[in-house]
Amino acid sequence: MNKTIRLTTAQALVQFIHQQYIEVDGIQTPFVEGVFNIFGHGNVLGIGQALEENPGNLHIYQGKNEQGMALSAVAFAKQSLRQKIYAVTSSVGPGSANLVTAAGTALANNIPVLLLPGDTFATRQPDPVLQQLEHNHSAAITTNDALKPVSRYWDRITRPEQIMSSLIRAFESLTNPETAGPATICISQDVAGEAFDYPEEFFIKRVHYLDRPKATKRSLEALTTAIKESKRPVILVGGGAKYSEAREELIYLSKTHHIPIVETQAGKSTVESTFPNNLGGLGVTGNLAANKIVKSADLVIGVGTRYTDFTTGSKGLFNYDTTTFANINISRAQAYKLDALQVVGDAKAVLGQLTETLVGYQTSYGEDIKKIKNEWLTERDRLKQIEFNRNNFTPEIAGHFSQDYLNKYADLFNSQLTQTNVLIAINELIDQESIIVGAAGSLPGDLQRVWESAIPNTYHLEYGYSCMGYEIAGALGTKLAKPEKESYAMVGDGSFLMLHTELVTALQYDKKINILLFDNSGYGCINNLQMSNGSGSFFTELINHETKEIMTIDYATVGQGYGLKTYKVTTKDELIFAIEDAKKQTVSTLIDIKVLPKTMTDGYDAWWHVGVAEESQNLTINKAYESKEINLKGAKQY
């Protein structure tokens, strides 16, 4: 007779996740590192009680905002190369609603995270309970239904025994590289406390194997032929290559066969920037070298990339008359992108196969790769040297910003710092093994272009969803994943205002993070988009509605109030001091950097398809629309 153990549904859940392991290349490690929580009436007496009674080796952290703590969990899994996760539990209602943005971020980036929101009563006897929604057409709908479209796996538990099959399915999804993303299990609050006689074998150690499927003979031969027939192939490194840990194979193939490497935001720092054949970021936020090389390429080999519009320049970056595509991807659906030759398999494994089939092959680039990279390094050095000149300063974004406009901000901030100058200085000042985190605004563009990652997996950008507010929560997540390294959140003032409360969690648990806050008093990236397409500056700057004056906020004082070590920076010398002093601190830090607007980098031969108004009384908008239509003619339509 099978032995059973009597547990509540929540206790069974906790005991199950204690026993989940993942094996990668023969090494087994626990898969669930811990649990982030904000307890409310939907989960405190269920999962809360179970964690208090038997936390095992799980690390338990009290979050400050459901979205924020879930984003920390997403960043942890991303920095851990999807080989470890955190679970996240919230109450029903606003708590679970706050998880939606973080779930979307995880789904867009294929990052595993286990979401455990509470739910209403399965019995429905107390309905409507506190925070319950009511729909006349269905009593079964709760706030948690909003998580369905942003979850890779979703289930609602209305009986204790349902947790068994549900958890097994959830962990299959979480540990599958092709389907990695958020798994949401909503537990009715009455059921969470109900007991059931669970079979003991449900709680045995389970190992989830991250296998490395190789390319089929057919697809490998086709890929090998395509490469050998090409003269100017380019390898496009995406996030899948980083998660697969394909660095050594990429370097070997690139060096042996003289193939240039370009990167997506997620793929950057898979191979260090100092590798001679690494030309850097591609696309709308890409640099001169990468965008130039793909225009002359006859074959683009996408490795673990989703080909987002920023990477492809809205599908307008490539010369489709002369360029073909081959995609190596664990996902068959992603391998089909851009009508490419499809090679389904693990990036590291497939690239390893290529090292054997491409023997003797050489590209025709000659000195072109070195020449193009040097051209970009010269341009990067020019950007490094740009400084504000009150009498003669040319903005980097567009020429229609007057000198008076910039002088006004210089007087307002008492600063003459430019964004590109500051970023490159920070790149040189912080330790090379430090992790930088970014997500939204103009910073991702500047970072992908000018940031040089000397150490692999130190560039952590969330750009699949470009989630404002990810940055500080993400820095906490990366710190939990790599506690021995300094973690820097690169955040604009707009993102800081949207979500920064997990900095309190960092303080609470002595997890030092560093916040580099770039303050230009507005949403500079969207302001650039708005004005460069013919509109005026309309509700994208922080302007007092009565005085019409630009607002100035003392973020250093805000951070000081939380308990951070803070710095105010308006000069290069102050920046150097702040960075160096922050390294010596044991408490989290915030450096409030006042930068002039319109001093970020511009695009380099890439176009972004946006919805410009087709009709307007504004002639500059009409011109922007005509330009959009011209660019659209050169873009692929599928």
Q: Is the pLDDT of residue 396 over 80?
A: no
- With bands split at pLDDT 50, 70 and 90, how would you rate the model's confidence at 635? confident
Residue 407 labelled as part of a binding site: no
CA distance 524 to 600: 9
Q: Residue count of the chain, please give it.
A: 638
Q: What percent of the chain has pLDDT over 70?
A: 97
Q: Is the pLDDT of residue 399 over 50?
A: no
SS (H, E, C) 395-445: CCCCCCCCHHHHHHHHHHHCCCECHHHHHHHHHHHCCCCCEEEECCCCHHH
Task: Give the per-residue pLDDT at 400.
Answer: 45
Task: Give the per-residue pLDDT at 270.
Answer: 98
Query: What's the mean pLDDT in 218-223?
Result: 98
Domains, the chain, with CATH or none: 4-209 (3.40.50.970), 217-375 (3.40.50.1220), 386-594 (3.40.50.970), 608-637 (no CATH)
Instruction: Judge contact between 181 and 152, C-beta under 8 A.
Output: yes
> CA-CA distances (angstroms) from residue 529 to 183, 265, 348, 487, 524?
35, 20, 38, 30, 9
Which of 484-493, 610-619, 624-633 is predicted most confidently? 484-493
Q: Give pLDDT tens digits for 269-291.
A: 999 999 999 999 999 999 999 99
CA distance 321 to 228: 19
Q: Is the pLDDT of residue 408 over 70?
A: yes
Q: Is the pLDDT of residue 409 over 70?
A: yes
Q: What percent of the chain has pLDDT over 90?
A: 80
Query: What's the mean pLDDT in 64-73?
Result: 98
Query: What's the mean pLDDT in 14-29?
Result: 97
CA distance 556 to 565: 9
Q: Give pLDDT tens digits for 517-534.
A: 999 988 888 888 888 888
Query: What's the mean pLDDT in 153-182?
Result: 97
Task: Give the per-residue pLDDT at 391.
Answer: 66
Which residues lie across from 237 on neighbouring strands?
263, 303
Task: Give the per-residue pLDDT at 89.
Answer: 98
Q: Give pLDDT tens digits for 231-278.
A: 999 999 999 999 999 999 999 999 999 999 999 999 999 999 999 999
CA distance 473 to 479: 10
Average pLDDT, the chain: 94
Task: Give the per-residue pLDDT at 397.
Answer: 42
Instruction: Judge contact between 66 and 96, C-beta under 8 A.
Output: yes
Tokens of 530: 């708005």
CA distance 102 to 575: 32
Q: Is the pLDDT of residue 392 over 80?
A: no
Residue 335's Cβ-side half-sphere holds a number of Cα atoms within 13 Å equal to: 16
Among the residue ranges 10-14, 277-281, 633-637, the one predicted with the least confidence is: 633-637
Instruction: Judge contact between 462 and 503, C-beta under 8 A.
Output: no
Instruction: Judge contact between 469 and 501, C-beta under 8 A.
Output: no
Q: Is the pLDDT of residue 224 over 80?
A: yes
Q: Does an H or E element contain 13, and which?
A: helix 9-18
Q: Is the pLDDT of residue 398 over 50?
A: no
Neighbours of 431 (CB within 10 A): 11
Q: Is the pLDDT of residue 403 over 80?
A: no
CA distance 562 to 558: 7
Neighbours of 615 (CB within 10 A): 7
CA distance 120 to 103: 20
Residue 66 labelled as part of a binding site: yes
Which of 493, 540, 541, 495 lies closest to 518, judged by CA?
493
Residue 520 labelled as part of a binding site: yes
Which of 147, 63, 154 lies closest to 105, judged by CA?
147
Q: Is the pLDDT of residue 548 over 90?
A: no
CA distance 329 to 238: 10
Q: Give pLDDT tens digits for 382-391.
A: 888 887 776 6
Task: Give the per-residue pLDDT at 427.
Answer: 97
Query: What's the mean pLDDT in 82-107?
Result: 97
Q: What is the CA radius of gyration of the chain?
A: 26
Which of 380, 403, 368 lies closest to 295, judged by CA?
368
Going by the DSSP 8-state scheme, the letter that residue 182 receives in this structure is E
Task: Give the per-residue pLDDT at 413.
Answer: 82
Task: Give the per-residue pLDDT at 394.
Answer: 55
Single pTM value for the model: 0.96
Q: Is the pLDDT of residue 121 over 60?
A: yes
> CA-CA distances (angstroms) from residue 34 to 14, 51, 85, 616?
10, 10, 8, 54
Query: What's the mean pLDDT in 572-596?
Result: 97
Q: Give pLDDT tens digits for 297-314.
A: 999 999 999 999 999 999
Q: Is the pLDDT of residue 401 over 70?
A: no
